[in-house]
Structure 1
């Protein structure tokens, strides 16, 4: 089965966007809107300290009547971030994401952020694996 290293290699967009925990929520949501992304990794000197998603914003700013200009990212980010490594299997990632209701997983190596994978990246990888298996089986049957 495919692992995270292969998923990262196959991704069209390799850039992982990060933000400081001291940045304002307005800066974070502006970054997400400008880049067309649903989450941004919060880092301090390349170490993952949190993740901020659109869901965090709606639940912890809008619904609690905070202001985006005055609220720091560290006040609303998800601080207990589940991370994976390049050797983690796609199946394991999908299990983690399903069980914990996550849409994004930061990828770390030596405690440093090296990428971010989404549920969409993993679904694409599974579909590619299934397509390859079907092709192999069809070739086997035809020969």
Structure 2
């Protein structure tokens, strides 16, 4: 099974966009819209301290009648943040996402943000691995190996 590092290398988007905890929610939404992404790691003094997503905005801002202009990211973000390392496997990440009901995992190495994996990235990789295994088994059954 592949590692998080291998998934990050194959992603077309190499840069991870972040937002400061003291930025407004409106700024976070603008960054997400500009880059066509659904979540941002939240940083403070260069460290990842949370994650804010479109889902957080909908549930914690819009539904509560709060203003995206006057609300700070730190008020809506999910914290404490669950992170993974580049050495962790896809399976470990899927377990974390499932157990903790998450959609995004910041990838941290030596206290530095090096990537972000989503549930979509992990499911895509799992499906690709299963398809490859099926193909190998079919070849074995047909005696092609």
Deviation at 1:98, TM superposition (A): 1.2
Give runs of aligned pairs for residues 1-143 of structure 1, distance below 5 A: 1-141=1-141, 142-143=143-144
Deviation at 1:15, TM superposition (A): 1.9
Q: Counterparts of 1:59 and 1:38 in 2: how far apart (Å)?
A: 14
Mean Cα deviation higher: 19-28 or 129-138? 129-138
Deviation at 1:125, TM superposition (A): 0.7
User: SS where residue 83 of structure 1 aligns?
Assistant: coil
User: SS where residue 50 of structure 2 aligns?
Assistant: strand
Deviation at 1:45, TM superposition (A): 3.3
- Paired residues in the alignment total 143
Deviation at 1:60, TM superposition (A): 1.4
Deviation at 1:122, TM superposition (A): 0.4
Gap regions ≥5 residues in structure 2 = none
Deviation at 1:135, TM superposition (A): 2.8
Tell me the alpha carbon deviations over residues 88-142 of structure 1, each in whole angstroms, 9 at most, x when there is no partner: 1111111111111111000000111100000110011111211222232233332
TM-score after normalising by structure 2: 0.92
TM-score after normalising by structure 1: 0.93
Deviation at 1:29, TM superposition (A): 0.7
Gap regions ≥5 residues in structure 1 = none
For the aligned residue pairs, the C-alpha RMSD in angstroms reads: 1.3
